């Protein structure tokens, strides 16, 4: 059963149950009121009957009877009984003759009045003090009006329930259709979206309801999918270029060399070119393999507690050996007094590689201008800021900087493969950290790395 149909059925059943409960409640209270009213009428007749028969002379009795016939409606099967109360006398015989429970008489004697019902015959008994003593006056009658009223009510309620049920079903269908109409529109719109039309989006309303939230969530997912497709296409394009260039060089050089017999030096020169391009190809494939491994959490090597300032000094020492002309400056003025706030749980080899990648990039793209590395802490994190005054990254390229093999449009003249930043981000993520990059063209780039300290891990 479809959800829309389920909602319509549930709404209809709830409405039907509510109508039936309300109708049954009204029916019950009308029955109670009708019975109470009929008992009251019998009690009044009992007082009038007792007054006319027990307290009046014969002439007065005739007058009262005439008045009674004129103003009181005659009840079906109406009967009156006068039972004199005497000391020590019981009413077992009368109870048996009238088929009335003995408790009825006991209640009249104790309380002064009582009621009893047998099928559709109603009994009302009162205690009356006459001139000649106390009496129990019982008046009984059949309540045919009650039967007619209840039959009429049943017919009315049955017809009403049927009509209201049809109306409730109609409302339920419209209500469920109205609710699911936006969902159907979403489904139709989503069916139009394919891998060739990921630019399409759902129209979102300004309302702050669940449907609007679903539309916004789906649009966000489409944004991520579109970005993933673009990333994949860029990766294929860039990877093809980076891999095909050395392969083309190797094949071309080999073909040219084999066209005719060469001198020893020419063979050496040709093999040197082939070796250089093969080494370049090896570096690219190794970088790709390493990038893939850092993207898997189950490939992480063992972690150990390390002070971030010591790790930065090791990175600085390595960079000095690789690039003696660098102008990297470590700023430790913001370091905390508590050394535990500098301790992180990390894989030294991976984190060393990530930070050195960033600093090397800063040196390379700033042509060995000053690169400042600042260390600070927050409540739960160690923060590393790497700032240079290099060529910067164009704004339109910033969203692609973490794509493997992607290189900014103004960085093509610099050597590199476009794997360093994706690799660095993977390593930072493995350490449950965050990396943020801000850059302006011809003004420089600032990279911020936040890593959790061991104190935050134990909190």
Residue 299 or 192, more confident: 192
273 and 316 inside one domain: no
Residue 111 scores a pLDDT above 90: no
User: What count of residues does the chain have?
Assistant: 459
18 and 111 inside one domain: yes
Q: Is position 35 within any domain?
A: yes
Which of 244, 272, 294 lies at the terminal end of a domain, its last residue? 294
Average pLDDT, rounded, for the chain: 81
**What pLDDT is attached to residue 292?**
61
Q: Is position 222 within any domain?
A: yes
Per-residue confidence band for 384, with pLDDT thresholds at 50, 70 and 90: very high
332 and 276 inside one domain: no
Q: Of the segments 222-236, 331-345, 364-378, which one has the largest average pLDDT value?
A: 364-378
Q: Is position 187 within any domain?
A: no
344 and 245 inside one domain: no
144 and 93 inside one domain: yes
Residue 293 scores a pLDDT above 90: no
Domain that holds residue 32: 3-150
Residue-wise pLDDT tens digits, 50-97: 777 776 555 455 555 565 555 466 777 878 888 888 777 778 888 888
Per-residue confidence band for 232, with pLDDT thresholds at 50, 70 and 90: low
Give the angle 341-346-350 at the CA atoms, nearest 5°. Answer: 135
Average pLDDT of the residues in 127-155: 83
Nearest to 136 by CA among 170, 98, 168, 182: 98
Residue 396 or 72, more confident: 396
396 and 261 inside one domain: no
Q: Is position 431 within any domain?
A: yes
Angle between helix axes 210-258 and 144-191 (nearest 10 degrees) is 20
- Number of neighbours of residue 205 by Cβ within 10 angstroms: 12
Q: Specify the residue for token string 């905390």.
A: 336
Q: Is position 434 within any domain?
A: yes
Per-residue confidence band for 374, with pLDDT thresholds at 50, 70 and 90: very high
pTM here is: 0.48
Residue 336 or 375, more confident: 375
Residue 302 scores a pLDDT above 80: no
CB 334 within 8 A of CB 374: yes
Residue 310 or 208, more confident: 310
Q: What's the CA gap between 137 and 154, in Å, rounded?
A: 35
Residue 457 scores a pLDDT above 80: no
Nearest to 449 by CA among 353, 363, 368: 353
Residue 236 scores a pLDDT above 70: no
Angle between helix axes 264-294 and 210-258 (nearest 10 degrees) is 160
CB 283 within 8 A of CB 417: yes
CATH of the domain at 286: 1.10.287.130
Residue-wise pLDDT tens digits, 424-447: 888 888 888 999 999 999 899 999
Average pLDDT of the residues in 135-153: 84
251 and 370 inside one domain: no
**What pLDDT is attached to residue 230?**
66
CATH of the domain at 72: 3.30.450
**What pLDDT is attached to residue 330?**
92
Nearest to 345 by CA among 301, 407, 303, 299: 303
**What pLDDT is attached to residue 242?**
64
255 and 317 inside one domain: no
Per-residue confidence band for 298, with pLDDT thresholds at 50, 70 and 90: very low
Q: Of the segments 133-147, 285-299, 303-317, which one has the largest average pLDDT value?
A: 303-317
Residue 448 scores a pLDDT above 90: yes
CB 342 within 8 A of CB 362: no
Which of 294, 318, 333 lies at the terminal end of a domain, its last residue? 294
Per-residue confidence band for 416, with pLDDT thresholds at 50, 70 and 90: confident
**What pLDDT is attached to residue 349?**
82
283 and 333 inside one domain: no
Residue 412 or 168, more confident: 168
- Number of neighbours of residue 168 by Cβ within 10 angstroms: 20
Dihedral (CA of 296, 300, 303, 308) sign: negative
224 and 113 inside one domain: no
**What is the torsion angle, in degrees rounded to the nearest 10, for the CA atoms of residue 147, residue 151, residue 154 and residue 160?**
-140
Q: Is position 179 within any domain?
A: no
Average pLDDT of the residues in 294-301: 53
As a three-state string, the secondary structure of 350-377 is: HHHHHHHHHHHHHHHHCCCCEEEEEEEE
287 and 321 inside one domain: no
Report DSSP letters for 88-137, one per residue: T---HHHHHHHT--HHHHHHHHHHSEEEEEETTEEEEEEEEEETTEEEEE
Residue 372 scores a pLDDT above 90: yes
Which of 129, 150, 171 lies at the terminal end of a domain, its last residue? 150
38 and 10 inside one domain: yes
CATH of the domain at 382: 3.30.565.10
Radius of gyration of the chain (CA): 50
Q: Is position 177 within any domain?
A: no
Q: Is position 57 within any domain?
A: yes
Number of domains in the chain: 3
Mapping DSSP to helix (H, G, I), strand (E, B) and coil, where does residue 446 land? strand
């Amino acid at each position: 059963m479809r959800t829309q149909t389920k909602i319509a059925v549930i709404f209809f059943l709830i409405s039907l149950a509510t109508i039936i409960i309300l109708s049954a409640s009204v029916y019950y209270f009308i029955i109670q009121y009708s019975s109470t009213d009929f008992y009251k009428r019998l009690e009044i007749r009992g007082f009038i009957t007792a007054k006319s028969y027990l307290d009046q002379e014969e002439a007065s009795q005739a007058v009262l009877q005439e008045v009674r016939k004129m103003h009181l409606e005659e009840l079906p099967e109406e009967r009156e009984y006068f039972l004199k109360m005497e000391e020590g006398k019981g009413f077992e015989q009368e109870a048996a003759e009238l088929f009335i429970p003995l408790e009825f008489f006991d209640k009249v004697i104790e309380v002064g009045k009582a009621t009893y019902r047998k099928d559709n015959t109603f009994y009302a008994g009162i205690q009356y003090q006459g001139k000649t003593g106390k009496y129990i006056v019982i008046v009984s009658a059949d309540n045919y009006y009650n039967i007619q009223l209840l039959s009429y009510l049943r017919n009315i309620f049955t017809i009403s329930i049927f009509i209201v049920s049809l109306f409730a079903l109609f409302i339920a269908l419209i209500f469920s259709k109205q609710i699911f109409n936006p969902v159907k529109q979403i489904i139709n719109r989503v069916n139009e979206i394919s891998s060739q039309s990921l630019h399409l989006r759902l129209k979102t309303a300004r309302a702050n309801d669940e449907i609007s939230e679903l539309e916004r969530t789906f649009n966000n997912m489409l944004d991520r999918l579109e970005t993933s497709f673009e990333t994949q296409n860029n990766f294929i394009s860039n990877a093809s270029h980076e891999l095909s260039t050395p392969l083309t060089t190797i094949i071309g050089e080999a073909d040219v060399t084999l066209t005719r017999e060469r001198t020893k030096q020419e063979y050496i020169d040709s093999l040197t070119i082939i070796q250089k391009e093969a080494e370049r190809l090896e570096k690219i494939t190794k970088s790709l393999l390493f990038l893939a491994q850092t993207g898997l959490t189950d490939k992480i090597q063992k972690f150990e507690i390390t002070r971030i300032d010591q790790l930065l000094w090791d990175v600085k020492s390595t960079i000095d050996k690789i690039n003696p002309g660098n102008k990297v400056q470590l700023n430790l003025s913001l370091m905390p007094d508590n050394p535990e706030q500098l301790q992180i749980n990390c894989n030294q080899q991976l984190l060393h590689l990530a930070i050195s990648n960033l600093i090397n990039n800063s040196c390379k793209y700033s042509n060995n201008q000053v690169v400042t590395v600042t260390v600070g802490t927050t409540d739960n994190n160690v923060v590393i800021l790497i700032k240079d005054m290099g060529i910067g990254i164009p704004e339109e390229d910033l969203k692609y900087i973490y794509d493997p093999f992607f290189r900014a449009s103004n960085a093509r003249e610099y050597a590199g493969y476009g794997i360093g930043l994706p690799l660095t981000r993977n390593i930072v993520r493995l350490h449950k950290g965050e990396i943020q990059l801000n850059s302006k063209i011809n003004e420089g780039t600032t990279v911020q790395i936040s890593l959790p300290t061991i104190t935050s891990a134990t909190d």
